[in-house]
């Protein structure tokens, strides 16, 4: 079922608990407009992954539960769904840490993404060729075992695998974690391209604030399970607080780690 509203995803005031005691999200609301890229930013443990897992309904397998609020995807509540049903509805999550099937070949990994779709062998080959146009590097390595490919290639496998499910919406959890700057740019180029050419809406959790905002339309910043700040990507990039806290730039100019240490020792002396 599809709807005519502008938002493909609408999260309203959700609270998430793990094991019935650990409160991971206090109050998170966010919207992803159809066909847009939305960045979810924050430090380790802020609740980015939890938010994504609440949306893909993968929380249940980690003893987590949405205890308050609502999540609507494509106009319908996701409350009663399970992960494979969500994939069937066109919502696919790319998990943190890539999680390729190490013993399968690159190509088998990608094909496994089509598991939920009823495709003939010919259809699969056709889809595969289309996917390879975005991930040229993977085509060269199609026969290698996934565990022996590089980190960047594994991230590409994970995204390609998700694309094979023909998603309307992708949830990307820290796709650039541990990658060299050049690869980070390459991954983001692919994500951007998928968004524009395939019309996939994207919710992107990232710690790399700068590049994430440069490649998004809108951004949310969460801290300890709460949305602290939201706005268009451009407004967040120009926001002084964001600059200072997340981009390492202060009004006085670029702040580096040594300056911070100096400042801290100065403060100590004063105290």
Q: Residue numbers of the site for other proteins (CB under 8 A)?
A: 56, 58, 61-63, 83-84, 86-88, 92-95, 99-104, 108, 111-113, 115-116, 145, 147-148, 151, 158, 161-162, 164-165
Least distance from other proteins to the Cβ atom of residue 250, Å: 38
Q: Which is nearer to other proteins, 93 or 215 (CB)?
A: 93
Least distance from other proteins to the Cβ atom of residue 97, Å: 9
Cβ-count burial of 33 within 10 angstroms (0-12 exposed, 13-18 middle, 19+ buried)? middle
Least distance from other proteins to the Cβ atom of residue 247, Å: 31
Least distance from other proteins to the Cβ atom of residue 80, Å: 16
Q: Which is nearer to other proteins, 170 or 187 (CB)?
A: 170
Q: Which is nearer to other proteins, 33 or 83 (CB)?
A: 83
Least distance from other proteins to the Cβ atom of residue 37, Å: 20
Q: Which is nearer to other proteins, 48 or 243 (CB)?
A: 48
Least distance from other proteins to the Cβ atom of residue 175, Å: 14
Q: Which is nearer to other proteins, 160 or 221 (CB)?
A: 160
Q: Which is nearer to other proteins, 82 or 250 (CB)?
A: 82
């Amino acid at each position: 079922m599809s709807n005519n509203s502008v938002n493909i995803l609408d999260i309203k005031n959700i609270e998430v608990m793990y094991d019935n005691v650990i409160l991971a999200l206090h109050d998170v609301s966010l919207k992803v407009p159809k066909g847009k890229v939305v960045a979810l930013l924050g430090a380790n443990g802020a609740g980015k992954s939890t938010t994504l897992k609440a949306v893909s309904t993968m929380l249940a397998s980690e003893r987590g539960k949405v205890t308050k609020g609502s999540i609507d995807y494509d106009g319908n509540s996701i409350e009663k769904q399970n992960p494979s049903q969500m994939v069937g509805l066109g919502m696919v999550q790319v998990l943190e840490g890539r999680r390729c099937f190490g013993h399968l070949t690159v190509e088998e990994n990608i094909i496994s993404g089509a598991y939920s779709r009823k495709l003939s062998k010919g259809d699969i080959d056709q889809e595969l060729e289309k996917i390879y146009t975005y991930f040229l590097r993977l085509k060269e390595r199609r026969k290698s075992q996934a565990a022996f490919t590089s980190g960047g290639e594994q991230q590409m496998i994970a995204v390609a695998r998700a694309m094979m499910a023909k998603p309307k919406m992708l949830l990307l959890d820290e796709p650039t974690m541990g990658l060299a700057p050049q690869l980070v740019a390459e991954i983001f180029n692919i994500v951007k391209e998928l968004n524009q050419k395939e019309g996939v809406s994207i919710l992107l959790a990232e710690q790399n604030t700068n590049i994430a905002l440069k490649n998004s339309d809108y951004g949310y910043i969460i801290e300890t399970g709460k949305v602290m700040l939201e706005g268009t990507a451009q407004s967040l990039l120009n926001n002084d607080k964001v600059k200072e806290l997340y981009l390492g730039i202060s009004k006085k100019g670029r702040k580096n780690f040594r300056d911070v240490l100096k400042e801290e020792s100065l403060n100590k002396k004063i105290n």
